[in-house]
Amino acid sequence: MKNVMIRETGEVEKTWLEAGQLIKEEKWEELEEKLDYGILCLAFITEQGLGDKDIWEGVKMETWKERFWISVEKYIWVRREDYETNWKCS
């Protein structure tokens, strides 16, 4: 019998996967909270000294950040009535 290593899903990856499910279910308020939580986790990890090129849970930090921020822009900000006037930089 071969030894099989099971990869544990970390907090950031778990949050990302849960966010994906909320997108499928179109649960926008819960999705916003989940994405905010993911961004908060990434901010904490960054504060601990990990840079954008460092790997966290098998993925570069810069990729995690892009995933969460792009999802906020794509699924949350566009549902805000004031998106055009208050969310975009001029």
Rounded to two decimals, the pTM is 0.81
8 Å CB contact between 63 and 69: no
8 Å CB contact between 64 and 46: no
CB burial class (10 A; 0-12, 13-18, 19+) of residue 70? exposed
Encode pLDDT of 33-85 as tens digits. 999 999 999 999 999 999 999 999 999 999 999 999 999 999 998 888 776 66
Encode pLDDT of 4-38 as tens digits. 545 568 999 999 999 999 999 999 999 999 999 99
8 Å CB contact between 68 and 42: yes
Residue 73: what pLDDT?
Answer: 92
Residue 81: what pLDDT?
Answer: 74
